[in-house]
Amino acid sequence: MKLSQFKFHLPESLLATEPSEQRDESRLMVLHKDTGKIEHKIFKDVIDYFDDKDVMILNNTKVFPARLYGNKEKTGATIEVFLLRELNKELRLWDVLVDPARKIRVGNKLYFGEDDLLVAEVVDNTTSRGRTIRFLFDGTDEEFRRNIEILGETPLPKYIKRKATPEDKYRYQTIYAKEEGAVAAPTAGLHFSRELMKRLELKGVDFAEITLHVGLGTFRTVEVEDLTKHKMDSEQFIITEEAAKIVNRALDNKRRVCAVGTTSMRAIESSVSADKRLKPAADWTSKFIYPPYDFSIANSMITNFHMPESTLLVMIAAFAGYENVMNAYEVAVKEKYRFYSYGDAMLII
């Protein structure tokens, strides 16, 4: 398929810049992939579509405050440093993006916070905006992490043109987040409240927690018309024995298995056994799912509404059918559903 087939008109007013008042009261579009039928619900209604021994696969990655603002030595110019991932814990080496990149060269020192709480040195160039930096810090890892917490901002997507607030620290994080390492939230999970999780549990729904540390590559613009030529960035994922057991038991019993989010879907599709069962793994994936694609594990999924020509929209079309999805998105725009990270949700069954 071609990238241009995934274009659609998205009015800017539909980009959600604030979360819904209550997590589980955002809107929910239910798309039946066999018929293309669409229902309009509230997210908490998701419980009506699941029964005893069905499984929801949750990505329990935790977003860390990845956006730092520092000053360049000598000139004092303000520099944004976006922490992508830790390369070496002992040496405190990090892969980062810097802005404005033209001002940052190898050997430059960067100072963060009043009293220079953290200092870093640029040690390498990686991409046009990418750098490798080393934090010059002698304290314990715990103290270092605490300083990142103090200095860092919640890494809201760039389209949200406002400063991150204390509320974002809580709302741009799933309630089941545990394993720190993501620079963007697995946004389909943001709709789950503690009350809804408890109600699902009481109904007999099982939860299988996996981890995929979301990187910025998931949201990178696709720049090739031929989708087979697009390369995804690698993201680290972990599927435990326990999670695999819960999912495989549901598959054996022909229950509903729901991937909560595109990140959960990428992780599970990156670790499939020859007999189409989920395998435990601790690995990296650069899997790009586009139509036509034969899904092995999940038979339903929950996802947000994605941007035109994005890898996420392409994956959804592979799962639910191209015509179904493009029609559903046309309806979503007409019905003024909210799009992107803080937006509304879709259940595909």
pTM of the model: 0.93
Q: What percent of the chain has pLDDT over 70?
A: 100
Using only C-alpha atoms, what is the Rg of the chain?
21
CA–chain centroid gap for 307, Å, is 14
Record the tokens describing residue 30, joined without a space.
């239910």
Q: Residue 22 — φ and ψ, nearest 5°? A: -115, 140
pLDDT digits (tens, 9 = 90+) for 134-187: 999 999 999 999 999 999 999 999 899 999 999 999 999 999 999 999 999 999
State yes or no: pLDDT of 217 exceeds 80: no
How far apart, in whole angstroms, are the C-alpha atoms of residue 343 and residue 96? 27
Angle, vertex CA 63, rays to CA 8 and CA 112, nearest 5: 110
- Give the pLDDT mean for 88-95: 93
Helix (H) or strand (E) holding 294: none
Helix (H/G/I), strand (E/B), else coil: 345:
strand
> What gap in Å lies between CA 161 and CA 189, rounded to an integer?
23
pLDDT for res 64: 92
What pLDDT is stored for residue 285 in this prediction?
Answer: 96
**Which of helix, strand or coil describes residue 174?**
coil
Instruction: Decide the pairing of beta strands 55-59 and 78-88.
Output: unpaired
Query: Could you give the angle at the alpha carbon of 172 between the alpha carbons of 280 and 186, nearest 5°?
Result: 30
Six token digits for residue 349: 């069954």
pLDDT surpassing 90 at residue 21:
yes
Q: Both ends of the chain: CA-CA distance in Å?
A: 23
- b/e sequence 33-53, b meaning 16+ C-beta within 10 Å: beeeebeeebbbbbeebbeee
Within 10 A of 218 (CB to CB), how many other CB atoms are there? Answer: 20
- Say which residue the tokens 């539909």 belong to: 14
